[in-house]
Structure 1
């Protein structure tokens, strides 16, 4: 029987699909008068000759592609049995894709004036949801000619956008609130991220529906991470490491000697932190000299190297500039190996 027209529909829930192309590969040769059936939770973008011509809402629609039944079969012979009027339909899910997870792969540094070291590293996690707002814009800018486009293919991009906005919001919030206060402002922080992310989501045809901060807390490895970033001097870092060790001992619930050590550690943390503050004051008065017997680390900042050889940081930077001291430049900061500093001193 001769093929007169087509019925084009995609009757699935599209649970993790955002877009499904019909046909999935190649080009369509839908006949004039063909029917496109769009479900309540869908929109359909109709393309002909590579151009987006229309967006169909829920319901039944009749399409015109210039492929007239019987005649196109004859004309197709001149095009190697390929239609001269190609067309495709992209079914787009319009439902909200909810409970997508986000988290901070690396802690975010914020100012924390008048408390502790004056800075803090925060980690957080939560959920967000999004929805297609402009089907044609999303298909033309993001999907292209892909047969099936799933949520997993865009989630990494969306999380990167959201974490960038979160970092901005935390920086702005920290200018007016301490870290303990910020931890209690998760609803306000979430609303601010939604507001900041709105424009970028809409630029690719999406709407950021929700952004929830499930938890926001200081990083458990703050001392080590600050040390790696060159923001702690050796003396303070050593003292904070000792405090961490005492905290871990205090959490030992094995009983016996472990319990005794835990009690002793718990009683000593306050004294140790007091000593740390005193040590910091002494270091300031002594030009930041390292503690007696302190071991030279394998990698140092210019300030730490200056402390060990008892010169100013400017002297170290001058030596790096004139090439007499070898150092590795990472971004705008220098890092000096123990071997290069020793070689410099022995030259």
Structure 2
């Protein structure tokens, strides 16, 4: 004969445990007079044949026709007045589930007002709690005996990332200014996600953006942009890139020629359109490149005063940024200043 359940409770629910069903192996035998003890941080749902008969809030509940008329009426209808009767109780953890992690699994490409295109990663934390116990059981948990945050985290993370990407796209903020808008992005994402969480019985109680970080190629573009902070127009930027390409060839004479210097200048992730503009600016600075030479041949050296001055300016900048040593700087500066004098510069 099945054991009658006189008292049912879940006193030891873990912090990440959303739900526990008792008995865990399926419906147990209850009777009028059986007790359900619900802790302060819990809500319980009384089920019979997969239907929620009533919601039990914190306290000690005795199954009787006096204090639980809804349950008593349903019991009489579904059991034909039999006592005991099979049923189960689902306990739900009503505490906030804090410090839940979210983040992009792959870099996301955004249009950037300063860099053109940027590839970014984002991550942060959020907190949620149960708002509608019956909805959570029916739409999320199902017939499982226990259910924790780790089982729903992947679904919530995907939902969050989708909404957050939409918010970032609408804001049209450059990555250079993004750090000053974390609060606005967090508030916008939280508001946008409320309906999504409510649709499955949860409430989003907190949402934080911890970091929005660029990929390596976007980071190089940011460094390049920072080095040109004093230049306010694209024409000056193109001339700077051309001068740096010449300087690369001069400082690294074994690097494979002027064409490679141009490649280094263009390889900053700025796009094919910018590469064409840079090539045009470079051609205005020096004669057309000669036919390809053997790998051991030395690159073409600057031949005009303007080109030599561009090399000197490039050396100054690279020394200030710590890209070349003081010994190399002094040696090369002496060489190119002498060359500039010879050209009458």
What interval of TM-score do these two structures reach, taking the shorter chain for normalisation?
A: 0.5 to 0.7
Q: CA deviation at 1:223?
A: 9.2
Conserved? CA contact 2:16–2:149, under 8 Å: yes
2:205 match: 209
1:31 match: 31
1:340 match: none
Secondary structure in 2 aligned to 1:29? strand
Would you say 1:272 and 2:268 are equivalent positions?
no
Secondary structure in 2 aligned to 1:217? strand
Instruction: Report the count of equivalent residues.
Output: 230
1:228 match: none
1:99 match: 99
Would you say 1:163 and 2:161 are equivalent positions?
yes
C-alpha deviations, 1:158-202, integer Å up to 9, x for none? 00010001101100111xx32222232111111111101100100
1:52 match: 52
Q: CA deviation at 1:282?
A: 6.0
Conserved? CA contact 2:266–2:278, under 8 Å: no
Q: CA deviation at 1:21?
A: 0.2
Distance in structure 2 (CA, Å) of the matches to 1:149 and 1:55: 19
1:284/1:106 CA distance change after superposition, 3 Å: farther
Distance in structure 2 (CA, Å) of the matches to 1:165 and 1:190: 11
Distance in structure 1 (CA, Å) of the matches to 2:277 and 2:266: 12
Structure 1 regions of 5+ residues with no counterpart?
Answer: 77-82, 225-238, 247-267, 286-291, 294-347
* TM-score between both structures, scaled by the size of structure 2: 0.59
C-alpha deviations, 1:188-247, integer Å up to 9, x for none? 1111111011001001000111111111122224499xxxxxxxxxxxxxx9xx99xx9x
Distance in structure 2 (CA, Å) of the matches to 1:3 and 1:153: 32
1:192 match: 188
Determine which structure has more spread, i.e. the larger CA radius of gyration. Answer: 2
1:8 match: 8
Conserved? CA contact 2:38–2:60, under 8 Å: yes
Root-mean-square deviation (CA), in Å? 3.6
The equivalences for 1:174-323 within 5 A come to 174=172, 177-222=173-218, 272=265, 279-281=275-277
Distance in structure 2 (CA, Å) of the matches to 1:12 and 1:274: 59
Q: CA deviation at 1:3?
A: 7.1
Conserved? CA contact 2:5–2:29, under 8 Å: no
